[in-house]
Homo-oligomer: A and B are copies of this chain.
């Protein structure tokens, strides 16, 4: 009767949801949580070096190729995916896109959102995606935005996933998610992104080291982990 729990991922480019949140997506999907990815661009200009080495490549062709890869990765992870085609390097997010993003929040009513950290001195699209995900999360609360029968929308907790060089982005994890049971799924999603093979091992090492940190912090073994930083205080009913 009640809608199943759901989670939302807002990703600037296809690679981001795979490297940074692939474990969380696969884990919750496996448990029956409806997972939806909003992929703001195809990464067609800034994260497609391989494609642009091919003779005769065009922007449209590049976008189609990257879309197919992203869809394949989402399928492996068990998530829905919706593309906003906002362009990349830089993103051009319109008010119509904001409107659609707000609708998604209200329709999906996610209990958590995963997106980029607020700062990234190496990338302009990542902070912009985070800003956009946060803005839509907030405006979705406004009763005067598309007023109608009141929905019970509550702005969900928002977790920033790990950027490529975390310390340079001021990223300090406060949650380490145990993704051991879905590691093989995440690893298979890597294979949907063959052009970025040089990152496969990098992010496997990240997962192993975050796993060891997770074990150290909890005293319970963890092999593979993903690091997150929460944006809001958590209301809790007990500590133990």
Contacts and interface: CB of A to CB of B under 8 A. Distances in A.
Interface of A: 5-7, 24, 27-28, 31, 33, 44-46, 48-49, 51-53, 57, 59, 62, 88-90, 111-112, 121-124, 134-135, 138-139, 141-145, 147, 150, 154-155, 157, 159, 164-168, 171-178, 201-202, 205-206, 208-209, 212-220, 222, 225, 227, 230-240
A239 B24 contact: yes
B212 A28 contact: no
A18 to B, nearest CB: 17
Contacts of A45: 142-145
Please give the count of copies of this chain that the complex contains. 6
Given A33-B240, A177-B236, A213-B233, 20 more contacts: A5-B240, A7-B239, A46-B143, A51-B144, A52-B143, A121-B231, A165-B216, A168-B172, A174-B174, A174-B234, A175-B233, A176-B233, A177-B237, A177-B239, A178-B237, A205-B209, A206-B209, A209-B209, A217-B232, A218-B234
